[in-house]
Chain A
Amino acid sequence: AQKITQTQPGMFVQEKEAVTLDCTYDTSDPSYGLFWYKQPSSGEMIFLIYQGSYDQQNATEGRYSLNFQKARKSANLVISASQLGDSAMYFCAMRELSQGAQKLVFGQGTRLTINP
């Protein structure tokens, strides 16, 4: 079963607008972590933001914020005031404990295109 689901294969947004990238997850572990990564065309994975399952407040990092709705098991990424350089693939990932080891499970990704 898919543990991380990103339902938007592609998003197109006008520059300076805010954009929300959806992510839902599935886990029975009460302790988990959620990450968002950006992958530009160069291929490198750039860490954006992290939300722990016990964190009381939504995480924020500059223009990035995570809309964490625990009961709905969603962890949407909000990018405010989008810029042309935000065009990239975005992956949601969840830290899970499997066979005694921690690992990251990634969603399918969303390709974000910012139009001038």
Chain B
Amino acid sequence: GAVVSQHPSWVICKSGTSVKIECRSLDFQATTMFWYRQFPKQSLMLMATSNEGSKATYEQGVEKDKFLINHASLTLSTLTVTSAHPEDSSFYICSAYLAGGRVFEQYFGPGTRLTVT
């Protein structure tokens, strides 16, 4: 149980275009989902916390107008990278928090590798 999927697993887009990444909790309802970014050979950096039915909370330094997050249901959160540029190329990972599970255990998706050309 507690499976999180992401789609697509990898995407290549041209500079200036927008890309949408989906994060789904397949067998549980997640009131909170998290979006992380990981540059090569670096750690995971939290970008934003997404709560169902409310606006996302962004970490300091993350442009909310560039990284649009929508958590429309208890099983789906989306991250849209708008007007993508090569410096946005990264590995994006989502996680979902299972309330009532082990203390604050997050279940991670497999990640999406974004390359902007």
Interface residues of A (CB under 8 A from B): 33, 37, 42-45, 47, 50, 52, 91, 95, 99, 101-109
Q: A44-B111, A108-B43 are in contact. Are A101 and B103 (CB under 8 A)?
A: no
User: Is the pair A106, B103 in contact by a Cβ cutoff of 8 Å?
Assistant: no
Complex CA distance for A104 and B49, rounded to whole angstroms = 11
User: Is the pair B108, A44 in contact by a Cβ cutoff of 8 Å?
Assistant: yes
Q: A43-B110, A43-B111 are in contact. Are A91 and B44 (CB under 8 A)?
A: yes
User: Is the pair B110, A106 in contact by a Cβ cutoff of 8 Å?
Assistant: no
Main SS of chain B's interface residues?
Answer: strand
- Between B38, B102, B103, the greatest number of chain A beta carbons within 10 A of the residue's beta carbon is seen for B103
- Of the A-B pairs whose beta carbons lie under 8 Å apart in the complex, a sample of 24, sorted by A's number, is A33-B103, A33-B104, A37-B108, A42-B110, A43-B38, A43-B111, A44-B109, A45-B44, A47-B105, A50-B103, A50-B105, A91-B44, A95-B103, A95-B104, A99-B57, A101-B49, A103-B34, A104-B46, A104-B106, A106-B45, A107-B43, A108-B42, A109-B42, A109-B43
Q: A91-B44, A101-B57 are in contact. Are A43 and B106 (CB under 8 A)?
A: no
B102 — nearest CB in chain A belongs to which residue?
A: A50
* Contact partner, A43, options B43, B46, B49, B93, Cβ 8 Å: B93
Complex CA distance for A107 and B45, rounded to whole angstroms = 10
Q: A43-B91, A45-B95 are in contact. Are A106 and B49 (CB under 8 A)?
A: no
Encode contact with A along B91-117: 1 for CB under 8 Å, 0 otherwise. 101010100001111111111010000
Residues in A neighbouring B38, C-beta threshold 8 A: 43
- Nearest 5 interchain pairs by C-beta: A45-B108, A43-B111, A106-B43, A95-B104, A106-B44
User: Is the pair B49, A103 in contact by a Cβ cutoff of 8 Å?
Assistant: yes
Complex CA distance for A44 and B109, rounded to whole angstroms = 7
Complex CA distance for A44 and B38, rounded to whole angstroms = 12
Residues in A neighbouring B107, C-beta threshold 8 A: 47
Residues in A neighbouring B106, C-beta threshold 8 A: 104
Complex CA distance for A42 and B9, rounded to whole angstroms = 11
Residues in B neighbouring A33, C-beta threshold 8 A: 103-104
Given contacts A45-B44, A91-B43, A104-B34, 8 further A-B contacts (CB under 8 A): A37-B108, A43-B91, A43-B111, A43-B113, A44-B111, A45-B93, A101-B57, A105-B46
